[in-house]
Structure 1
């Protein structure tokens, strides 16, 4: 799914652009009323704003692909009001400081559960140490020294723009427990895909990135790894 704002204020329309093989659904944001046109039968449905938040019908799923995720990130980074959807902070909240992804167990992140649903977050990675370039991945250390941390798996993958140029990169991580004190690390079902912009495979310290986090509810049908892209 991809969002775009109409810069013509006189039209007062905001377009929800569905994939290219489906019709467009037009949402009219005039005087606090949404006119939602069914892309199948063209029936108009009016929905009033509540609390200043532009709601969407139940069942609308936010499931952007890799390219669209980077488009949302780019619009957020440059604060492009034409490209940045006014509801994006509802779908991709920003996590900061001690509430960040690499400081908090994923099951404690807002809106995250073990139901297999994907949740997206803007956040800023930080260095593990004051010197060096290693990023912080440790989530928790218990009194016995056992650690819970994100572990990168596989290669960093390039994400290409429509013209074929590299727009950014994607890393896949899996949460492990029992790191430290010569214990055998145990793989959990928590998975994270992290995206950043630019032509460098490594994100910069403090750079705004976007990650999607989910709990893998079913084993993969092909291969033994749980780190492949969700269907």
Structure 2
């Protein structure tokens, strides 16, 4: 797979969210920010981890696990209708462990099923994990209809110095879907 990305400067390159929002809101009715899974990984997550400028988008940097889904939608509802996109640090549950911490507000996210391998031009580029939100404390939480998909790169950039790693912790990208209902059973809902 050819690498179409050039490593940028070590300075943090932030898109101007207000300019992005103005541009995206100028599109005619019917246009939506709805990238495919491989596009999310290649054109948003990978450049974000390489500290490159992103195309205009509706992805917000949020400490996702500080909120339950309803709080996120109340705060960021204008950025989506049935799906919302976020970059968030992937924190470990235990200091020396590998398991991610998925507690969130008054509940927790629980993984469902195996990771889906994402491909571009037959090359493995990343993974998508499905999660469901449970209210309460594990293992006796109450399952809700909130779903989330977590996207990760197969080979995250390793060229960051220790200082850069502290400034830009490894991120994952998440899409959050509104609660499933009978009216939306034929629509793909992603979190």
TM-score normalised per structure 1: 0.58
> Shift in Å at residue 230 of structure 1?
2.3
Where in structure 2 are there 5+ consecutive unaligned residues? Answer: 1-17, 157-165
Deviation string 1:86-128 (CA, Å, 9 cap, x unpaired) is x23xx10111xxxx11121122223249x96100011111012
| Mapped partners of 1:175, 1:52: distance in 2 | 28
Aligned with residue 123 of structure 2, among 161, 165, 182: 165
Q: 1:56 aligns with which of 2, 10, 26?
A: 26
Q: Which residue of 2 aligns with 1:215?
A: 178
2:50 matches 1:74: no
Mapped to 2, the partners of 1:70 and 1:56 lie a distance apart of 25
Question: Rg: which structure is higher?
Answer: 1
Residues of 2 paired with 1:129 and 1:188: CA distance? 26
CA distance in 1, matches of 2:127, 2:65: 19
Q: Which structure's residues are more often strand, by fraction?
A: 1
- Equivalent residues, number: 155
Q: Which runs of 5+ in 1 are unaligned?
A: 1-48, 142-147, 223-227
Equivalent pair of 1:112/1:214 in contact (CA under 8 Å): no
Correspondences of 1:191-230 after superposition (within 5 Å)? 191-199=147-155, 206-219=169-182, 229-230=188-189
Deviations, residues 33-65 of structure 1 (Å, cap 9, x unaligned): xxxxxxxxxxxxxxxx98994343242211111
**More contact order relative to length (CA 8 Å, sep ≥ 6):** 2
Q: Distance in 1 between matches of 2:118 and 2:142?
A: 30
Cα RMSD of the aligned pairs, angstroms, is 3.2
Distance 2:103 2:59 in 1: 22
- TM-score normalised to structure 2 length: 0.69
* Larger proportion of helix: 2
